[in-house]
Structures are given as structure tokens and as C-alpha cells.
Amino acid sequence: MTAMSDIAGLVADARSAIEAADTTEAIRHVAATVSGKKSPLSEASRALGSMDPESKKELGRQLHEARTTVEELLESKRTEIRFTELSAEMAASRLDLTEYVPGSVAGPDQRGHLHLVSQTRDALEDVFIGMGFDVAEGPEIETDWFNFGALNIPPAHPARGMWDTFYLDLGEPETTLLRTHTSPVQIHLMERAVLEGTLPIHSVMPGRCYRRDTPDARHLAVFHQIEGLVVDRGITFADLAGTIETFTSAYFGPDIHSRLRPAYFPFTEPSAEFEVTCAICKGEGCRTCSQTGWIELGGCGMVDPAVFASVGIDSDEWTGFAFGFGIDRCAQMRHQIADMRALIENDIRFLRQF
């Protein structure tokens, strides 16, 4: 036959060769054979130059359609082969993360679990949710205003000595720091409630805090805290005391109780520190409680009117209380851990007990 006498046959031969290819290398070889410079289709195209114009026009159209068909078949086959080879490669390199190799460090009986502090946070949230609170969170990097100013602790106020602070140099015009307590979240909540008209507030705010403390049996430089805030009409100090006692018995058990002692905090007035019966010695006195039988858990008090004023809440209409205490301290008391530093030493023998 001549170079253009059987275009349909050329396409059929190309189709058969393409379908037979099953690897990237094979389809590359087939492409050169059926559409390359030395392929029958290319030779047929070159032969058009010697034909009369009328025949050239019709056969040129047929050759163009044939080449388009062949190129589409090639691209479809390339895609199919790439998918097949990639699937095979992924299957070959797949890791079975559930496989247990005898003698390995981690087996079915040694799966990881939540750290004791995380477990304690979840348990505390459950207790307060059961008491009618919701849970809120806030940023760990705060401005000086949220961490101190809005909480009635202006610059150069002596109370700033109560918090040994990590300040940050972020190039911001306003002073930034790692929050020293979760109280800034209270300011965020009250501002949002005023803006959106969603007062009253009944929330707890768990989170991580930072102070330049020297670690000891009861203190860590990076610790976890949970705060509570209630803003409503007719709230009194008696509501605060009842909330603290209800929480203490619900979380630590009916044999553990709370007591309040007068204290000073810039953002509450009146203020108190609340203590719970030492769970380690059951009130008898030990090293952890400094022989007093009580462990200080946190601070509390009625929200100072100056704090309400900083967020635009009318203290003649609304009153409220706030409290805050350490999640790490709760874990220590509930599980009778004599030294809080055990929580950050990553001793697997200790962590496995919880």
C-alpha cells in the first residue's frame, strides 16, 4: 500500500501497540514507534507534498484526526501506567503502624496515653461543666494590658512583684509577654460579652502559664492553671464559697474540704486564698503541706469594680466572682504525689502509673 492508503489501519496498529504497553519504558518506546519522526504517520504526512491539492486536503484532514487519536490514546495509557506504578510503589513502602514486633519497646500492652496533667485538666473540665460552667480558652502570648493593666495592676504597681514574668521582644509597639496566669482570658470573655450583649458569664478557663519560678515540690516555671469567672446579677461571696466547696468535694472526694483565708489580689475585692485538706496526710501534717494539714490551691474573690470598669461592665448592675488554681497542684493532691517536679521529669516508670 502507499503511505496514505490505509490510515485506519495505522491507527488500529497504534492502538494495539499502546494497549500492550504496561510500563513507563514500554509506553515511551511505543510512542516513538507510532508517533515519532520515523513512524508510519510521520512518513504519510511527508508524502503529502507530492500529492495534488484536492487529495492533499482530504488526506491531510484524515491524518490530523488519526494523529490526534493516537496522541489521546498515548496520554490515556501514560496516566494509567503512572497510577499503577505509583500504587505499587506506595504499597511496597507502606508501613504497618499496628504491627507488633516481639521484643520491641512498644507493644499492645504499652500503648501511650494522656499525660497525668492532661487527664487532670479533662477531669476538672467535666466537674465544672457538671456544675453549669462552659469552657473557654485564650492565647498564651498576651499584651501587658490584658495580663496586668485590665486586671487593675498598672505599671509600677507593687503587686507586679507577685508575678515574675517572662517578657518577649517581638518588635511590637505594645509590651508582650508569656501570660503569668489565665486571668487575661477573663478580660477577653467580658469584653466579648459586652460587645455581643451575652452577659451573664459562667465560664472556666484552663491553660498553660509561665513564671520565672524555681521548681520545687509545689512550684514549676511552666505550669497549668484553671480559672473560673461568674458575672451575673446578685452574686455574693457566699456563692463563691459554695462553689469552691462543691468543686472540692466533687473532685477530691467527700473527705476533702476547703477553707478560705483573707488575702490580697489586685483584681478581686474582697480576696481570699483557698486551701484544701492535704490528700497526702489527710490533714495530719507532712512535708508536702509544710506540716499544716492544708494545701493552698489557689486564689479567689469578688471581681473588683475597677476590672469591670476596664471592660465596660456596670458594677452597679452586675457583680461576680473569680477563682483560679493550679491543675498540676490538683494532680499532685489527688494522686498523692509528694514532689510536683515528677510531672516534668518524663520518668516512664512514674507516668505508667497513671
Give the separation between CA 72 and CA 75, rounded to whole angstroms: 5
Residues 128, 133, 139, CA angle at the centre, nearest 5°? 95
At 15, list the grid cell: 492502538
Give the pLDDT score at 36.
80
Q: What is the DSSP letter of 163?
A: S
Share of the chain above pLDDT 90, in %: 40
Give the pLDDT score at 182.
94
Give the pLDDT score at 109.
57
The string of DSSP letters for 206-245 reads EEEEE--PPPBTTB-SEEEEEEEEEEETT--HHHHHHHHH
Is 60 exceeded by the pLDDT of residue 2? no
Amino acid at 203: S
Q: 116-351 maps to which CATH number? A: 3.30.930.10
Is 70 exceeded by the pLDDT of residue 312? yes
**Looking at residues 197-215, what average pLDDT do you find?**
91
Give the pLDDT score at 101.
60
Is 80 exceeded by the pLDDT of residue 47? no
What's the predicted TM-score (pTM) here?
A: 0.65
Question: DSSP H helical segments within the chain, as ranges?
Answer: 7-20, 24-35, 40-47, 53-93, 116-130, 144-147, 183-196, 237-252, 305-311, 327-334, 348-351
Is 80 exceeded by the pLDDT of residue 99? no
Exposed/middle/buried for residue 267 (C-beta within 10 Å: 0-12, 13-18, 19+): buried
Is 90 exceeded by the pLDDT of residue 259? yes
For the chain, what are the domain ranges? Answer: 7-93, 116-351
Say which residue, 218 or 91, is predicted with more confidence: 91
